[in-house]
Structures are given as C-alpha cells and as structure tokens.
Structure 1
Amino acid sequence: MLVLFKNANAIVSCDQKDRVYYKSDLLVENKKIKQIGKNIDVKADRTIDCTGKNIYPGLINTHHHFFQTFVRNLETVDYPNMSVPQWLDTIYPIFSLIDNEVIYYSSLTAMSDLIKHGCTTAFDHQYCYTDKTQNKAVDYQMKAASELGIRYHAGRGCNTLPKSKGSTMPDVMVESTETFIQDIERLTNKFHDPNEFSMSQIVVAPCQPINSYKETFEESVKIARKLNLRLHTHLGEGENSIMMDRYSMRTLDWCEDIGFIGEDVWLAHCWELNSDEYKKLALYKTSISHCPSPAILGGFPILEMKKLKDFGTHVSLGCDGSATNDSSNLLDAMRIAFLMQCYFGKERGGSISSYDVLKMATVEGAYSLGRKDIGYLSENMAADLFMIDASTLELTGSIHDPKNLIARCGVTGNVDLTMINGEVVFENGKLTKIDESKLNSEGEKVCTKILRNNSSAFSPYKNGF
C-alpha cells in the first residue's frame, strides 16, 4: 500500500545530517519510507494533504511502568511531600492488589496516551507480579499493544529479595530467580521478534539491584547474552549508600563487576552518578533513560545533559510510571526536560538545545532499544512518524524553526496524526483501531472494582467513583 504525505510545511528527519525538508512530500510503501522530496508524483492508495503541517520521526519512550496508570492523581500518596521510604510503604500495598485486568486496561491507557502525543515505540518496565497476575502480565500487555498498533518492547522485571533481607518490596511481589529466568525464556519464544520492523521484543529487566539477589542480576546477564536480548534496570536513584553497606561498592561498579553493562544495556534515571561514572557509561556505550517529570516531582538532582553530551554518554527519554508522573505524554516530558536544562544552564556552562531533546526522544531512543530501523526519517526506515498542525494560532510565529519548535514552544493537546509501521493509528482526534469510549468505560470499572474499592488510599474520593 502506498500512502503519500503531500506538501508538508516541514519534514524534520533527525537523520545523521539533521536535514529538514521544506514544502516536501513523504511516500510510505507498506511498512517503510520509500521516498522524501519535493513533488513526488505517484498514484498512491491514499494521499494526505499536509499543508501547514510538520512531520517528525515517531517518538520512542524508553522507561515507563504502565501498571501504575491506575494509581495516579492520588493526593493520599503525595510523592512530592514524602520521603522515598514513606512513598514505598504507602504505594506498594496498592500495587499488591493489581491483577491482569488492571494490567491490560492500564496498559491500554498508557499506550493510548503515548500514541496521541506522537510516540510510536514504547518500552515498559513491568515488575509488578502478584499472586493475582501470576506470570501473565506481559501477555496482557502484548495483547493491548497489538490492539492499538504500537511498537512495543516489554521489560520482564522482577524482585527476588524478601523484605526481611532488606528489600523495599512486599513479599507478595517477590519471585524466585528461577521463576524469572524461566518466564524470560517463555516470553522470548512467544513474543520476541528480532527482525527488521519488529513490533514486539522482550527485554531482561530486573527491577533494582537493592530489591533482588546478586544471583538474579548475574543470571539476567547470562540469559540476555544467550538469547541476544537487551538488559535494563533502575540505577543511580539513591541506592548507592545501601549498595556500599551490602557490597562495599557503588552500584555502577557492582554492575560492571557482574557484566551488567555494555552497549546492550540501558539504565533508568542515573541522577546519583558522578562524572567518572558517566564517562564509564560512555566508554561501555551504555545509555541512560532520563525521566524528567518524576525527578521534578521527587525533588531529585537534574542530569547535567551538556556534560553528558560532551562525555559522549547516550541519553534517551522516558515518561516513567504514572505513580511518579501521572501522565504518559512524551511531548510534555520533552519540554520539561528542556526547561530543566535551561534552568541550570548558566551555572553549568550552558544548556543543550531543544532540538537535542527531540533527538533524545528519537535517535537516542532507538539506540537505547538497539534498533537501527527506527528513530529518524529516511528512505527504507520504518514508517513511524507523527504530524502536528503548525498553522494553529497558538504556534503562529514559530514555524521558521521546526527542529526546535517541539520542546521549546511545547505542543499542547494531541498531535494531528500518528503512523506506526505504515499504519495510521491516530487521526482527527481518534484512535483508529479501537473503540476508545468502550475501553474507557471498561477501564474505569476495573480500576474501581480492583483498586478503588479495596485500597484506603482512595477512601477520601468515594464521591468521585
């Protein structure tokens, strides 16, 4: 099938030459981009008038916790005004109630939010396993991703250390290393597609070094390298003092010691790392998923992006879970990330550009996920893109620099169109593959039945559901 995007105001490629195509066309053939240029003359199955519109590469979200989407907008779990231990003690009893209905509908909710704001590829760090989910959480997420048409990388997470031995996890959410590794093998056989334009992949993603046995991380490295899967975890978010007490090593040194580092690894947050550790990540070609929203809400240190760029450290962008963000809007995360860098720019010797942030959310996202077929717009790349209407009054006066527009000006509301793998999945304010109203109604019922009716955290809001 041929789809022709005709007469776009600008096509921002994010390619190696940072090309912008003005007053140009983009031709999609089936799953990939066939041509970009002026006056493409072809008989297409569908021609989309892009007058006044800007086209960008699809955004890539490299850290999230979809299951938390039904545990948001809760003032009773007031993350900004709690210490991390207080927050954990309050939030985990709610997480322990989660079943596979919650997993399915919360995943649909988060993925829909991502798609509506230009995201075409999503990674989720699914570490919530209870007696109710058993080992089927990722299966339900894959079902949701398939129904929406999003490109999905599932991080099979785990926690293996019981609370009595120093974990922050309730025992109902603790698994054995053996169970975890066996499920990695099952999910890989069932869902992992390593081929070009793959729509589903599996990532080995133990949750956090302080919440699992060392053996769990060692076995994670072994199974990932055996099956050619990528590795992911949380790191450098305040746990170094605990790691020093347990192992007499900082977390990154511990990871280096067991081989949990390399080009096939990316790490969430990393705000606790020092300059030598950032240089080490650059040396190993290990990337960071920067999650700006929870950093602000939690009052944590802000990554020095200019320094990281100078070091050659790869940094992508993530929303993070809705228990510490409340939103799955990566466009919003881009602007927050840019403004945070500007705030500290003068004392840090300058800020990265808003275009740098766009590349974090595209090119660098592809690097984190190990993908060479997504992240920028060029011939033979995947047809993953989104389009905004640059002719609206709120963007008047900004169209001269489409590269910097997104993160600098901010794009409010939904994008105009999102295409994934050559298929339009969002257009004219509607998701094209699902009945949004029906799923919204079903999701609210599940949230009430499983969580709101059974957790005291929702008690003050009973008039609202």
Structure 2
Amino acid sequence: MAARRRPRWATLDEEAVHLATYVGIAELLMGGCTTSMDHHYVHPRPRLIDAQVRTAQDLGFRFHATRGSMTRSTEDGGLPPRSVTQTAEEMLADSERLVRAYHDPAPGALIRVALAPCSPFSVTTELMTATAELAERLDVRLHTHLAEDPDEDAYCLATYGCRPVEYFESVGWMTDRTWVAHCIHPDEAELAALAAAGVGVAHRPSSNMLIAGGTAAAREMRGLGMAVGIGCDGSASTDHASLWLETRSALLLGRYRGGPTTMTARDALDLATRGSARCPGRADELGHLRPGACGDLVVWDTPEVALAGALTDPVEAWLRRAPSRAWATVVGGRVLLADGHPQLPALEEKLREHARAARRIQGLD
C-alpha cells in the first residue's frame, strides 16, 4: 500500500495542503491540542509550507512549520518519485526564505519555523550538514526522523560505515536545538549521548503500535533528563489527532514495557504538556499555567458515569477511565473550541472541499 501511495504525493498542491491543514487543526483542537508542528517533506510544487502557515494564522492556532525535504528519489534508493524531490540548493534557499518570512522568535509567538530534512538517509550528507549550519546561522530549531526502523542500522552501516546516531552526530545534528521523531532503536550508549547533547524526542505511541515497529523508551529517556513530548504522527500512520488518546497510549505503553509502576498518569501528562513544550524549545511559556506563560488551556469533558468511584487522583481518573473529549480549547486567550465544537469559519464547507480533494488525489473522480 505504501508503494502505491507515494506517487500520489506528486498531486499535492496549495489548495490540498490548505484543506488538509485546516481539517487537521480542527481535529487537533477537538483532541485538546493548543500547539502543533507538521513535518512536511514532499514538495512537488512551491509554497506548500506558505499555505500551511497562512491557514494557521487565519485560524489563530499556534503552529511550528517544519520545512522538510527529500533529495533521494526511488532512482537513488530513496522512497519518493523524482517529481517530489528537490536539490539541496532549492531546499536551503526555500528554508531561509520561510524563516525570514514567517518565523517569529518573540515570546508567545503563534508561528515559528524549523528546518527538517525527512531523515538522515533520505537526503545527502551535504544537505544534512548544511541544514545544521543554516539553523545555527538563523537561530532556529532542527527536526528529523531518527532510529525509527532497524533497517536504518543496516543502511547506515553499509552507506556511511557507522550506526544512525553516530552519523547523526557527524553531520552536526547532535545539539540542543534538535528534536527527533520516534527514536526507537538507539542502544544505551547512544541514548545517553543524545541525552547529554540535549536532543529531544517526539514519542508517537499510536503510530508505533499501528506500524508495529517498536516504541520509544520514554521512561528511560525521561530518566536521563531528555525532553520527551507527545506526537500523533500523520494520517498515513494513525489517522487521528487526539492528544488524550496519545497520552493514554503513552501511559499504557510505558507500563507494558516496564511494569505497572513504571509510568503514572502524571508522568504521561508531563509528556503531553511540559515535555512537549521542551521539544521545540518553549518550556518557559508553554505546557504549564504560570505568570508569563501563554494563555493556552484545555477543559476536558468526561462523563460522570465514567468518573464514578474516582475519589483520589483526578489525573489517573482522566486517563484511565472512559474516553475524554476536549470541551474548550483556548490558544493565546482565544477560544477556538467551545462546547466541543471548533469555532472555525466555514468548517462544513471546508470539509466538503476536503472530501473532493481527497477523492481527486486518490483517483476516485
């Protein structure tokens, strides 16, 4: 299925990306998310990231756009068709353009930009190195996939003569401006090196379980002092955007891996809030309610029946009992979800347009 899906990447245009971003933000708000990032790394047409940023700006959503890319096509041993890859020069030039156009370093910013080649093995060594240098010069964050699949070990050993984390360090990415997705297969020494460098990890519980490729050692990472946050991944590998579900799944996976006392509901809540804020470098202003923090808040709705007998710890009850849904989601003091419904203009119309675009991309029209 994955092989059939990839040529569809070439059909993406600004309108499709706008609609996907709009619907994605609506679903994130319903799932209790106030701040998100998207790792967009296929660019068959220019200015797709611009469409994402404009959509988030119009809706008032806090959004970190990550400018990704792939330079290795199927002809070079990579995943995508040649039509959606770019040269290093194109990627670097557009990365700098996007940072200068949209990145807001001020406290409380709604829009920030990070640089994000898809993975160390989907782009050239030269691009990985140049991207790290560009991020340093522009003072922005770095993001990529790392140690997601055991095949990476074999590929990196055959191609670079070292394991993925060692290669990651050799291209200048072992830095506290970096956070990575998944990070499932580093060994203990590699994990300690990542922690010492200040690299953060976006833990993706549902995606890990659906793909069945293993899961991050979130408890061990937190024990090393790493920033570990929660991500729901893309629609290809989860097709939902519930922060509550991801947080509960992190709780369950933590206990499944290490035993019933190794992950508490409050540990999982910390992943979803303060840990997630640390990953993009926003621990001072996001993930907590203190003076000087952003005015972000989620109010949850859990049925009274589900809470029957929950007399001690409300956080344990919130995650361990019946599904909860966000009743109100506030971003920067602005109510974007009320009574469980997104307060977004023309949502029904956008859903119809999204369905038409999906049918076109899947070749059903």
TM-score range with shorter-chain normalisation?
over 0.9
Equivalent pair of 1:389/1:415 in contact (CA under 8 Å): yes
Query: Does the alignment pair 1:378 with 2:290?
Result: yes
Q: CA deviation at 1:313?
A: 2.4
Kept after mapping to 1: 8 A contact 2:306/2:321:
no
Residue 185 of structure 1 and its aligned partner are, at CA, apart by: 1.2
After superposition, give the CA deviation of every residue in 1:430-453 in whole Å (9 maximum; x if it has no partner): 222322212111211222233343
Structure with greater Cα Rg: 1
The alignment covers a number of residue pairs equal to 362
SS at match of 2:135: helix
Aligned mates of 2:363, 2:311 — CA distance in 1 = 45
- In the other structure, the counterpart of 2:304 is 392
TM-aligned CA deviation for residue 350 of structure 1:
4.4
Shift of 1:397: 2.7
- Give distance in 2, aligned partners of 1:452 and 1:148: 30
1:47-86 to structure 2, matched below 5 A, reads 77=1
Deviations along 1:165-186, one digit per CA (max 9) or x if unpaired, are 2212211111011111111111
Alignment of 1:249-328 (within 5 A): 249-328=162-241
Structure 2, unpaired ranges of 5+: none
Q: Distance in 1 between matches of 2:320 and 2:8?
A: 37
Give the structure 1 partner of residue 110 of structure 2.
199
SS of 1:297's equivalent in the other structure is helix
Change (3 A) 1:95 1:395: farther
Closer/same/farther in 2, CA of residues 449 and 167 from structure 1, 3 Å limit: closer
Cα distance per residue 1:87-122 (max 9 Å; x no partner):
3x2221222222222111111111111111110000
How do residues 21-32 of structure 1 correspond to structure 2 at under 5 angstroms?
none
Deviates more, 1:244-253 or 1:160-169: 160-169
- Look up the match of 1:125: 39
Change (3 A) 1:272 1:90: farther
**Aligned-partner SS, 2:5:** helix
Matched to 1:120, the amino acid is: T
Tell me which of 4, 14, 17 is aligned to 1:100.
Answer: 14
**Change in CA separation of 1:390 and 1:407 when aligned onto 2, cut-off 3 Å:** closer
Identify the range of structure 1 (290-299 vs 90-99) with the bigger mean alpha-carbon deviation. Answer: 90-99
Aligned to 1:175: 86
Aligned mates of 1:397, 1:441 — CA distance in 2? 43
Aligned mates of 1:294, 1:182 — CA distance in 2:
32
Asked if 2 retains the 8 angstrom alpha-carbon contact of 1:160 and 1:175, the reply is: yes
Given that 1:155 and 1:202 are in contact with CA atoms closer than 8 Å, whether structure 2 keeps it comes out as yes
Q: With structure 2 as the length reference, what TM-score do the two structures score? A: 0.95
Q: Which has the higher helix share?
A: 2
Give the equivalent residue in structure 2 for 1:113. 27
* 1:306–1:350 Cα contact (<8 Å) kept: no
Other structure's SS at 2:117 match = coil
Superposed CA offset, 1:25-64 (max 9, x none): xxxxxxxxxxxxxxxxxxxxxxxxxxxxxxxxxxxxxxxx
**Which residue identity does 2:8 align to in structure 1?**
I
Q: Is the 8 A contact 1:426 1:432 kept in 2?
A: yes
Higher relative contact order (CA 8 A, sep 6+): 1
1:319–1:330 Cα contact (<8 Å) kept? yes
Pairing 1:208-219 to 2, within 5 Å after superposition: 208-219=119-130
Q: 1:350, 1:411 → 2: CA distance? A: 22
Identity of aligned residues (%): 28
Match of 1:443 in 2: 354
Letter aligned with residue 338 of structure 1: L
Shift of 1:233: 0.3
Q: Deviations over 1:381-429 (max 9, x none)?
A: 11101001356322233363223333333533x3110000010111013
CA distance in structure 1 between the aligned counterparts of 2:251 and 2:343, rounded to whole angstroms: 31
CA distance in 2, matches of 1:214, 1:340: 34
1:256 to partner: Cα distance: 0.9
The CA distance in 2 between the partners of 1:407 and 1:188, in whole Å, is 38
Aligned 8 A contact 2:42 2:85 in 1? no
Cα distance in 1 for partners of 2:16, 2:107 equals 31
CA-CA distance at 1:150 after TM superposition: 1.1
Please identify which structure carries the higher strand content: 1
